[in-house]
Amino acid sequence: MDDNKLYNALLKSQDERRQLERDRGEAKADDNFRKERPYAGSDRDKPNWNRVDTNHQENPPMLYDSSMSLALIGNPYPWSREQLRERKIIYSGMPDKEVMDAYRELRIQLRNRTGEGNFTVMFSSLGSGPGGLLTAYNLAAAFAMDSHTSALMVDCDPYSNELKGLVSSPMEAGVTDFVSDRSIAIQSILYPSGVERLTVIPAGTHASSAVELFAAVRMRELMAELKDRYPDRCIVLNAPPFRENTEARIIERFADQIVFGVPFGEVTGEIIADSVDALGSDKFSGLIFQE
């Protein structure tokens, strides 16, 4: 082969190699930014939940783009303002500005305690009955109102069915189902809420074994994945009433901050002090007084 032919062959080989590298790069980008919607749905549209191996030096991970991630969070069945008002869910521009400002202040205070990045806050009522979930849901909705943040509300109270009335999408499997069955994928328990940038995970159907399931290794894996996956997502854990259930003490280990709900006229100062002492954690961030 003469010099000209050898030179041309080398050029052609280099061009083919560059094109192959470009094709691989585009394929990786596509895999890393699958659409998150529509969560629990068809396999065709399910998001990619494969973990990125950050220790693999040959294929460095793609840079996380928060604006792209937030834009891909679907809300196929959005609540109207009338529907939000009927369900007592907060929304921007609602007539009761006092309530809206109270949740905004909660959001600011909790974020100030954590700093930049995402975090997990557990909410548990000090009351003796149901009613705490709406507060936890609205706290998550307050975080979702920030256009630079998404929120995830994880219901860890398997003894309440309140969440179904607050979510616009039909829900099936939840936390306890995922932990008890390794064949269930994470995307199968994620549901759009009806509120923009707010995703929910229901408690699931295994109430009788919830204590053991919340203490399982797979529960720790789930919480680690949910927190690590999106650095711009704030997670709110709704726990059962703190004084009446063991579950709240177990779920506390997954939280960065803990907030207690105080139902009006039901809890004394002594009960509050005893509950904070029983918690025995520096994660306690404050109280939400519920009317």
Q: Which CATH architecture has domain 68-290?
A: 3-Layer(aba) Sandwich (3.40)
pLDDT of residue 280: 84
pLDDT at 69: 61
What residue segments make up the domains of the chain, in order of their start? 3-65, 68-290
Residue with token string 């005893």: 274
- Alpha carbon separation from 75 to 70, 84, 127, 158, 168 (Å, rounded): 11, 14, 33, 25, 9
Among candidate residues 136, 146, 81, 79, the one with its CA nearest the CA of residue 108: 146
Distances (CA, A) of 98 to 1, 68, 108, 264: 84, 33, 15, 17
Report the pLDDT value the prediction gives residue 58, as an integer from 0 to 100: 47
- 111-127 pLDDT, tens digit each: 998 877 789 999 999 98
Quote the pTM value: 0.76
The percent of residues above 90 in pLDDT, for the chain, comes to 58
- Positions of the chain with pLDDT under 70: 1-72, 130-131
pLDDT tens-digit profile of 34-85?
334 444 544 434 443 433 333 444 454 454 455 556 656 778 889 999 999 9
pLDDT at 16: 58
